[in-house]
Amino acid sequence: MELKNLATRIYRPIIPEVEGRNMVLAGLVIVTIVILMAIFADLIAPYDPTKFAGKPLSPPSLNNPMGTDNLGRDILSRVIHGSRVVLLVVFAASMVSMSIGVPIGLISGFFGGKLDRAISMIMDSMYAFPSLILAIAIAAVLGPSVLNAVVAISVVYVPTYFRMIRGQTLSLKSRLFVEAARAAGAGNFRIMRKYIFPNLVTTVIVVFSLSVADAILTEAGLSFLGFIVTAPTPDWGFDLSSGRPYLPSGYWWMITFPGFMVMLLALGFALIGEGLSELYAPRRER
Amino acid sequence: MASLKAYIATRALMVLPTVIILLTLVFFILRILPGDPIASLVGQKVPPEVLEKLREEAGLNKPIIVQYGEYLYNIFHGDFGRSMIWGKRPVISEIMDRFPATVELTIFGFIFSVLIGIITGSIAAFRRGSKLDASMRVYSIIAYSLFIPWFGMVLQMIFGVYLQAFPIGGRISPGVEPEKITGLYVLDSLISLNFEALSSSFLHLLLPSITLGIVLSGAYTRLVRNNLIDVLSQDYITAYRSRGVKNSKIAIHAMKNAFIPVITLMGLQFAILLAGAVLTETTFSWPGMGTFLLERIQYRDYTSVQGAIVFYALFVALISLVVDVIYALIDPRIRY
């Protein structure tokens, strides 16, 4: 390897900033399109997603651009309307886990001591447990419904917020500006609110985007297993499982589109999260 | 060496609180959450006497604290209760029937994910900054966003339905099961030199484990790439280069050092692997723990549901112990 190459290897930032920005942009475009789709579903969708719209199991055509399912419903309309449940469940659940995980992480990391050790241990145990199985257990006990899915998914993601926020708080609280604030007579809660929390905002946004991406896959998984909606409500994960029996006969359009949307939406949030963390994360950590 | 033993002993002791926390969590979810588990599992239309009898059968009619004590006591004695349906077999033997299938799937899924991750990550690192590197980055994010049932079905569609190259469900063709030794079909048929069973079980295993492997490989791709880049910019690599050591030799040295953090990730990924296995099993009708759990939820077999979840918890705790011990064996800096 020539010397010049070696020098660029060492001194060029590992990921060019442009790339991080492009990732965020691409993610935002995807997410915005899906959100608009959910809001204006009634206007965009060519048919009622729960009504007969053509010969059952007909392949994509001009009348039904994504074909029809086994009950003759228009798959495109179901895909458009299907964005509603997943966005609702995932946003609501993420808000709940964020508003539990962030304060607990902040307080636990700031005060330390025995309480911190106890909470961390509980959170770490929960974090180690497979998220989907935990969500299945909760959803199975509570019964299948949209609200119960929100509960199940929000419990699962509390430790994610907790761990990130606690870690950041630990490193922030020993910084000089916190000491200066303390010397100037600021109390514990004032320090947390005015000095530490503002520095956590980027972390919270990054963790939010990444955990939403993950929560979308968990929601789709729960829905696929029948723990969220019942027929005839359109939902991507659920529709995918209704298409499954028709796969061996080659009706590819029943599974292709709903599952693709799950991936696309998860990808959108993952791109936002990854891009942001590349733009804002400390260089050393890459 | 003494300190290594001390580390392993301390780490093993630390499993106990983790296990108790997890078991308490499971207990809390199944018994204390609002809603009667039996009623929600059985449905509303059952007469109260029947509900009462089922409650008694599952030990749910005692005070909650007594239930908790009995629950922990029984689990630590390896007693998971008896299934509430069919032959009312002990739950643990029902689980043991299904567990090997999950182990087989996760082992192969794991191998694929690490292999794909190392290959893609090393390509990206050695061709850093190139188009190839960028496409590997895109790959790692897309792989992470794949929805397992969908990806699995797309593979079933292409390789099972159109190309007819692989079976699209089950563990093995009926009638050719190898003699049971470990319960892992591939291993059992190798031991008993039953090549028909070997090829059948391997063909059945391929699509599900590739599905699981690809979805999990994204995290490895990125970690391997970033670690390799870090290591490649270290002084000792520059020193090798200046002495004219061959690139291939440098690559081997660099890769050795880049892999230590990958082992930590293997531990972290394990929970994701198990969760992914539940969806993979459902997609490929794989008779493992995940399908067992879901099937028993459907049959409203409360004790089996609890047993399966508890078993997952114990398994997770055990694996995290094993990973930490392996890590300590490899990295001499980790000691108490």
pLDDT tens track for A256-284 = 999 999 999 999 999 999 889 888 765 44
Comparing C-alpha atoms, which of B122, B201, B121 is closest to residue B166?
B201
Q: What is the 3-state secondary structure (H, E, C) of B224-250?
A: HHHHHHHHHCCHHHHHHHHCCCCHHHH
**pLDDT higher than 60, residue A14:** no
- CB contact under 8 Å between B309 and A137, yes or no, is yes
Average pLDDT over residues B181-196: 85
Chain A CB within 8 Å of residue B26 CB: yes
Q: Please provide the average confidence, as pLDDT, over all residues in chain B.
A: 86
The predicted structure's pLDDT at residue B152: 96
Chain A CB within 8 Å of residue B30 CB: yes
Q: Which conformational region is residue A197 in: left (phi greater than 0), alpha (psi within -120 to 50 degrees), or beta?
A: alpha
What pLDDT, in 10s, does the model give residues B9-48?
A: 888 888 888 899 999 998 888 876 666 666 666 666 677 7
Q: Which of A3, A19, A141, A264 to mutate to test the interface with B (most CBs of B within 10 A)?
A: A141
The predicted structure's pLDDT at residue A3: 43
Distance set, CA A45 to CA A25, A39, A59, A79, A151 (Å) = 26, 11, 18, 9, 30
Comparing C-alpha atoms, which of B192, B271, B222, B178 is closest to residue A214?
B271
- pTM (predicted TM-score): 0.89
Q: B253: which residues sit within 8 A by CB, 6+ positions away?
A: B237, B240
- Residue whose tokens read 């900054």: B129
Q: Which of B150, B309, B319 to mutate to test the interface with A (most CBs of A within 10 A)?
A: B150
> Nearest-CA distance from B40 to chain A in Å?
6
Pick from B147, B297, B312: which is nearest to A263 by CB? B147
Provide the 3-class DSSP secondary structure of residue B298: helix
What pLDDT, in 10s, does the model give residues A184-195?
A: 988 898 999 999
What pLDDT, in 10s, does the model give residues A146-194?
A: 999 999 999 999 999 999 999 999 999 888 998 899 899 888 989 999 9
Q: What band does B8 get if pLDDT is binned at 50, 70 and 90?
A: confident
Average pLDDT over residues B219-234: 88
What pLDDT, in 10s, does the model give residues A19-56?
A: 788 899 999 999 999 999 999 999 998 888 988 888 88
Q: How far apart are CA A77 and CA A69, in angstroms?
A: 11
- Residue whose tokens read 């689990």: B75
The predicted structure's pLDDT at residue A284: 41
Q: How far apart are CA A79 and CA B110, in angstroms?
A: 33
The predicted structure's pLDDT at residue A62: 87
The predicted structure's pLDDT at residue B104: 94
What part of B 294-313 touches A (C-beta under 8 Å)? 294, 297, 305, 309, 312-313
DSSP string covering A74-98: BHHHHHHHHHHHHHHHHHHHHHHHH
> Nearest-CA distance from B94 to chain A in Å?
18
Name which residue leads in pLDDT, B331 or B270. B270
**Token duo for residue A1:** 């390897």
The predicted structure's pLDDT at residue B146: 95
Q: How far apart are CA A244 and CA B148, in angstroms?
A: 13
What pLDDT, in 10s, does the model give residues A244-258?
A: 999 988 899 999 999
* CB-CB neighbors (< 8 A) of A243 in chain B: 153
Closest-approach residue (CA) in chain B for A9 = B233
* CB-CB neighbors (< 8 A) of B316 in chain A: 128-130
**Token duo for residue B74:** 């029984």
* CB-CB neighbors (< 8 A) of A222 in chain B: none
- Peptide bond before residue A198 is cis, with ω within 30 degrees of 0: no
What pLDDT, in 10s, does the model give residues B70-92?
A: 889 989 888 888 887 777 889 99
- CB contact under 8 Å between B156 and A247, yes or no, is yes
**pLDDT higher than 80, residue B1:** no
Cβ contact A252:A69 at 8 Å: no
Q: How far apart are CA A54 and CA A77, in angstroms?
A: 12
Q: Please provide the average confidence, as pLDDT, over all residues in chain A.
A: 88
Pick from A132, A259, A267: which is nearest to B153 by CB? A259
* CB-CB neighbors (< 8 A) of B313 in chain A: 129
> Nearest-CA distance from B225 to chain A in Å?
10
Query: Which residue pairs from B9-13 have beta carbons closer than 8 angstroms and sit at least 24 positions apart in sequence?
Result: B10/B336, B11/B321, B11/B324, B11/B325, B11/B328, B12/B321
- CB contact under 8 Å between A263 and B272, yes or no, is no
The predicted structure's pLDDT at residue B258: 78
> Nearest-CA distance from B199 to chain A in Å?
22
Q: How far apart are CA A272 and CA B262, in angstroms?
A: 25
Query: Which residue pairs from A29-38 have beta carbons closer than 8 angstroms and sit at least 24 positions apart in sequence?
Result: A29/A268, A30/A264, A30/A265, A30/A267, A30/A268, A30/A271, A31/A265, A31/A268, A31/A269, A31/A272, A34/A83, A34/A87, A34/A261, A34/A264, A34/A265, A34/A268, A35/A83, A35/A87, A37/A80, A37/A83, A38/A83, A38/A84, A38/A87
Identify the weakest region by mean pLDDT among B131-135, B138-142, B178-182.
Answer: B178-182
What percentage of chain B has pLDDT greater than the value 70?
94
What pLDDT, in 10s, does the model give residues A90-127?
A: 999 999 999 999 999 999 999 999 999 999 999 998 98
Task: Give the burial class of B305: count Cβ atoms within 10 A of its Cβ; 0-12 exposed, 13-18 middle, 19 or more buried.
Answer: buried
* CB-CB neighbors (< 8 A) of B272 in chain A: 130-131
Q: How far apart are CA A85 and CA A157, in angstroms?
A: 18
Provide the 3-class DSSP secondary structure of residue A73: strand
Q: Which of B106, B138, B145 to mutate to test the interface with A (most CBs of A within 10 A)?
A: B145
Compute the count of residue pairs across chains A and B with CB atoms less than 8 Å apart.
Answer: 161
- Residue whose tokens read 């099972």: B160
Most confident stretch, B171-180, B275-284, B322-331: B275-284
Pick from B150, B279, B305: which is nearest to A263 by CB? B150
**pLDDT higher than 50, residue B112:** yes
- CB contact under 8 Å between B26 and A240, yes or no, is no
What pLDDT, in 10s, does the model give residues B290-301?
A: 999 999 988 888
Comparing C-alpha atoms, which of B186, B181, B184, B183 is closest to residue B201?
B186
The predicted structure's pLDDT at residue B34: 63
Comparing C-alpha atoms, which of B215, B196, B231 is closest to residue B113?
B215
Q: Which conformational region is residue B146 in: left (phi greater than 0), alpha (psi within -120 to 50 degrees), or beta?
A: beta
- CB contact under 8 Å between B35 and A141, yes or no, is yes
Identify the weakest region by mean pLDDT among A69-73, A222-226, B178-182, B307-311.
Answer: B178-182
Task: Give the burial class of B42: count Cβ atoms within 10 A of its Cβ; 0-12 exposed, 13-18 middle, 19 or more buried.
Answer: middle
Identify the weakest region by mean pLDDT among B96-100, B225-229, B232-236, B261-265.
Answer: B261-265
